[in-house]
Amino acid sequence: MKIWLFLISVLISVNFLFSQNNELNSSNSTPPDTTITPTDTSGGFSYFYTEEEESKYLNFKPILGLGIGTITYYGDVKDVYHSSPIVGLKTYNFSVAKGLRSFLDVEFRILKGSLTGNERSLNRNLNFKTDFLSGGVSLSYNFEHILKKKDLLLDYKKQRKLIPYLSLGIETFSFNSKADLLDSEGNKYFYWKDGSIRNILEGSASEEQSVILTRDYKYETDLREMNNDGLGKYDLQAFAIPIDASIELQIHERVKLRLGTTYHYNLSDLVDDVSNSGVGIRNGKSSGDSYLYTYFAFKLDIFSSEKEIEEPILQFETTDKNIDDIVLSDEDNDGIDDLKDKCIETPKGITVDSLGCPFDDDKDGFANFKDDELQTPKDSITNLKGVELSEEEITALSDSSDAIFYHQICAYYPSMCGIEMHRLTIEEVPAKFIFLDEDADGYISIDEASKAIDTFFDMKSDLTIDDIYELTEFFFGQ
């Protein structure tokens, strides 16, 4: 209930601010007879609106915002992705902003998304996920005092295409965290030192009858109801302080694109159900469970009336460097412009194809200029100089006579035996990951798993964060 009372009070406050400005601007129902005055600057003409026009019509109309971004969680229960601000769960925001001064805006924002954490280590294995809703109000400063051109009285937001913003505010935050403690059959997860998840506690008398489990990533257990640290029915609502840094680009007369990141300093330390009230492995830091929201949003000006005066034309200063020198540059001097060149560091004097890459006539992966055998048969196995290997050489390379057996690893490499090792049962590759098994051997190798994770971080994959978690669990459990 607290969050709705707060949001209603914020809306009333914002509405009051809007109405105050509207009263200021409504003394005349039609625009005054303003003029555009030319001013001589350095031999040319610059144009500006009068100060009355600037303050009355250009800065103080409500602006709607719609955006999407990713959430990175910084609490006690982290995961392997917490260091990347652009990889996380999708989160949406809606905002209404209005100018208070030409350099200061007030913005009301609603944020809806999910937070998650998955910690896997020798000491503890914790996870949680919660949907959340936050709403609050911020003040945004646009650096007009520093960046405005004093000799050009044109409105600051019309002088520049890119406007930086720095914001500070307060908001309410509601959550209801749950954990994934059971699989789809209702079996409790027990994490073993070898990296597997089993259905019984490690070291128990029936250890030999243990069954390997796979997490289903369905967060079914209410963490507050578990009362792990004796805190009872703690509050699922909290206040947070959002600190935002962003930059805004005008892409249309009524549309702007804002790119930014907001650090939400949460005053609650119980979002992941781990706090400094816990004991042993459940003991956490005393600061709040904060999160970072990296986003882009479209700002829509749908309330301003059509401009009754023509937009001024600004003259941009020319630079000494011709734009053709940038567009048509050829760093390696191979005759292919850098914008089209797929091999931008070709050695001097090497003949290249239309993409700027050295020729490789036999397609063995070694360019002609460093290939000791220019006519290697198709699909041959070569050495590092592009020369085909004989059957004897291939056999020698595949000789495993010097290999050691699995049970001998500890004798040869003691450092690899810091944790107890168990033989794992081979599992069938889940249907969703079959496409990752490129050699179709029914096993996800470390190279195949690494490639899938790299593709995900390069944003070229359809897999989700939960899929990556599940892939990692399967890899170590197969």
Q: What pLDDT digit, counting tens, does each position of 12-62 carry?
A: 444 444 444 444 343 333 333 333 344 333 333 333 444 454 444 445 688
Bridge pairing between strands 104-120 and 125-141? antiparallel
Residue 233, domain extent: 2-180+217-300
CA torsion sign for 385, 386, 387, 390 is positive
Question: Strand pairing partners for 302?
Answer: none
Cα 408 off chain centre by? 44
Which of 91-105, 400-414, 451-465 comes out lowest in average pLDDT? Answer: 400-414
Q: Is residue 399 part of a domain?
A: no
Strand partners, 295: 69, 260
- Return the number of other C-beta atoms located less than 10 Å from residue 248's C-beta: 21
- Written as one letter, the residue type at 268 is S
In contact, 277 and 229? CB cutoff 8 Å:
yes
Residue 453 DSSP one-character state:
H
Q: Does residue 170 sit within a domain?
A: yes
Report yes or no on 142 lying in a domain: yes
- The rounded distance, in Å, linking the Cα atoms of 290 and 288 is 6
The CA-CA-CA angle for residues 86, 89, 95, to 5°, reads: 85
pLDDT tops 80 at residue 238:
yes
Q: How far apart are CA 1 and CA 8, in angstroms?
A: 11
Enter the tokens of residue 275.
């706090």
Average pLDDT for residues 87-112, to the nearest whole number? 92
Residue 394 located in a structural domain? no
Residue with tokens 């989700």: 464
Decide if 197 is inside a domain: no
In 142-205, DSSP assigns E strands to 162-174, 178-179, 190-191, 197-198
pLDDT tens, position by position, 162-218? 999 999 999 999 999 999 999 999 999 999 999 899 999 998 888 888 999 999 999
CA atoms of 176 and 13, how far apart (whole Å): 29
Q: What percent of the chain has pLDDT over 70?
A: 74
Q: Per the domain annotation, does 161 fall within a domain? A: yes
Return the structure tokens found at 59. Answer: 């800065």
Distance from C-alpha of 438 to C-alpha of 429, rounded to nearest angstrom: 12
Most confident listed range (199-203, 348-352, 441-445):
199-203
- Residues 100-133: pLDDT tens digits? 888 999 999 999 999 999 998 888 899 999 999 9
232 lies in some domain: yes
Whether pLDDT at 472 is above 90: no
Any idea what the CATH number is for the domain that residue 127 is in? Answer: 2.40.160.20
CA distances in angstroms from 286 to 123, 225, 277, 289, 448, listed in the order given:
20, 22, 9, 9, 40
Q: Count of alpha carbons within 13 Å of 48, Cβ hemisphere only?
A: 20
Least confident of 38-52, 157-171, 298-312, 452-466: 38-52
Q: What are phi and psi of 4, to 5 degrees?
A: -70, -35
Report the alpha-carbon distance of residue 173 to residue 298 in Å, rounded.
23
Q: How many domains does the chain have?
A: 1
Residue 439 lies in a domain: no
**And the tokens for 312?**
């001024």
Average pLDDT for the chain: 79
Q: Could you give the 3-state DSSP secondary structure of residue 473? A: helix
Highest mean pLDDT among 1-15, 74-88, 264-278, 463-477: 264-278
DSSP secondary structure code for residue 212 in this structure: B
Q: How much is the pLDDT for 408?
A: 64
Least confident residue range of 198-212, 272-286, 378-392, 407-421: 407-421
Of 214, 208, 206, whose CA–CA distance to 184 is shortest? 214
Task: Name which residue leads in pLDDT, 305 or 121.
Answer: 121
**Separation between Cα atoms, residue 237 and residue 231, nearest integer Å:** 15
Calpha distance 425→408 (Å, rounded): 20
Tell me, what's the pLDDT at 401?
64
Whole-angstrom Cα distance, residue 445 to residue 475?
Answer: 8
- The answer to whether 112 and 218 are in contact (CB under 8 A) is no
Give mean pLDDT, residues 215-232: 94
**Which residues, at least 6 apart from 396, have a Cβ–Cβ distance to it below 8 Å?**
none
